[in-house]
Amino acid sequence: MPRKKVIKILKQIKINFEKFLEFNDYNTIDTRIYIKKENKYKKLERYNKLIVLENEVKNCRKCDLGNSRLHTVFGEGSEKAKLMFIGEGPGYEEDHIGIPFVGKSGKLLNNIIASIGFTRKEVYITNIVKCHPMLDKANPDRRNNDRAPYNTEIKNCMYYLNEQIKIINPKIIVTLGKSATKGLLNIKENISTIRGNIKYYQQIMVIPTYHPAALLRNINLKKYVWRDMKKIKKILG
């Protein structure tokens, strides 16, 4: 074959090959844009679903707690959180502000969350009931008026927590204290026995630990919570 013809064929092969590479680059970029858009859409969809659910909670009077509350306390944090914390129920401060885990317990929870490298905004925080369980429901403005929720109240409110779990779909749920652990897992063991053990709720890993309020009462419990957090950090990688 004449040399000129060989060069012409080689040039054409080079052009075709470059076109092929360009096409693949374009496809890769296009796929990345599509995935980004899809993730953004999913995030928005989760956010919207949570807003709708929160409005349902605001109007809820399924149990007696709905008649004495000052504010419903739905939950706070990232709609795509890997880690979800579930406490017992709103107390005095939460009832007045409408945000979960404020005050001394809230500060301690923030520190616990920070100890495993997260901020409060990166996790999701809620309670097993969304309204303040009170000893004296006629006096929502009285301090030290908190109590644990009754089983009937937990059962009535469980629908909202289930929906939150379904929407957020976290990798790990951390139940804080006896009420949240027993309410979610439907078990009889004490928190001191079950804490740090891996359980499952609707195929999502659950790790129970002590409630921050318990740590404020008994500093010796801190070491157990620290052990549980280390385990969580290791699982999340």
Residues that bind ligand SF4 (CB under 6 A): 57, 60-63, 65-66, 72, 129-131, 153, 156-157
CB nearer to ligand SF4: pick between 123 and 157: 157
Could you tell me which of 188, 64, 189, 173 has the C-alpha nearest to residue 126?
Answer: 173
3-state secondary structure of 141: coil
CB nearer to ligand SF4: pick between 57 and 184: 57
**Quick one: DSSP state of residue 209?**
E
Query: Least Å distance between CB 95 and ligand SF4?
Result: 11
CB nearer to ligand SF4: pick between 71 and 82: 71
Query: Least Å distance between CB 129 and ligand SF4?
Result: 4
**Ranges of H-type helices in 59-142:** 65-68, 92-97, 103-115
CB nearer to ligand SF4: pick between 130 and 195: 130
Phi-psi region of 34 (alpha: psi -120 to 50; beta: other; left: phi over 0): alpha
Query: Least Å distance between CB 211 and ligand SF4?
Result: 18
Query: Least Å distance between CB 49 and ligand SF4?
Result: 17
Could you tell me which of 196, 199, 182 has the C-alpha nearest to residue 224?
Answer: 196
